[in-house]
A and B are shown apart, each in its own frame.
Chain A
Amino acid sequence: GAVVSQHPSRVICKSGTSVKIECRSLDFQATTMFWYRQFPKQSLMLMATSNEGSKATYEQGVEKDKFLINHASLTLSTLTVTSAHPEDSSFYICSARLRGGKNIQYFGAGTRLSVL
């Protein structure tokens, strides 16, 4: 149980285009989902916390208009990288917290974004 599906696993796009990444909790309800960014050989950096039905809470230094987060249901959150540029190339990972769970996060497999 507690599977988080993240799609796509890899995306290559041209500079200036927008990319949407989906994060789904397959077998549980997740009131809270998290979006992380990971640079090569580095740790995870929390970008934002997404609560179902409300606006996402962004970490300091993360551009809200650049990284649009929508959490429309208890099983789906999306991250849209708008007008992507090469510096946005990174590994993006989502996680979901089990509703009523003990702060255990279940992670998606990640999305490798490459902006040309």
Chain B
Amino acid sequence: AQSVTQLDSQVPVFEEAPVELRCNYSSSVSVYLFWYVQYPNQGLQLLLKYLSGSTLVKSINGFEAEFNKSQTSFHLRKPSVHISDTAEYFCAVTTNAGKSTFGDGTTLTVKP
């Protein structure tokens, strides 16, 4: 079985400040790791994924996440956030069989 723990349910930050959204997981099998973003009343959009290779993955809008196998973590970071980054962020793991487990989500609120 897999589980995902997002350590912070809410993260308020000021615009242009750095932010880190934490994600830890546990699994008895190999998994792929994902971060999704959800805006109000919308579905999930894929933000980042780690499938293999370099442990540091980056998105086109400045987010990055690093897979740390020893700490079973996949924390999401951004050096300078914008108002438009305000959203719900979900960390997820997916097994080879394709079954996904999501964390409870972190609400990122960027204040001016």
Contact = CB atoms under 8 A, between A and B. Distances in A.
A6 B99 contact: no
B103 A109 contact: no
A41 B102 CA distance: 13
Interface string A32-62: 1010000001111010010000000000000
Contacts of A107: 36, 43-46
A43 B90 contact: yes
Contacts of A103: 32, 94-96, 98
Contacts of A93: 43-44
A106 B90 contact: no
Interface residues of B, number: 22
A106 B36 CA distance: 10
B42 A110 contact: yes
A43 B102 contact: yes
Interface residues on A, range: 20 to 34
B20 interface: no
B49 interface: yes
Contact of B43 (A32, A41, A43, A108): A108
B99 A49 contact: yes
A6 B43 contact: yes
Most chain A CB within a 10 A radius of its CB, from B34, B45, B96, B98: B98
Given A102-B51, A107-B43, A112-B41, 8 more contacts: A4-B43, A44-B102, A46-B99, A91-B41, A103-B98, A105-B94, A105-B100, A107-B36
Interface of B: 32, 34, 36, 41-46, 49, 51, 90, 94-96, 98-100, 102-105
Interface of A: 4, 6, 32, 34, 41-44, 46, 49, 91, 93, 95, 97, 102-110, 112
10 contacts: A34-B100, A46-B100, A103-B94, A103-B96, A103-B98, A104-B34, A104-B49, A107-B43, A109-B42, A110-B43
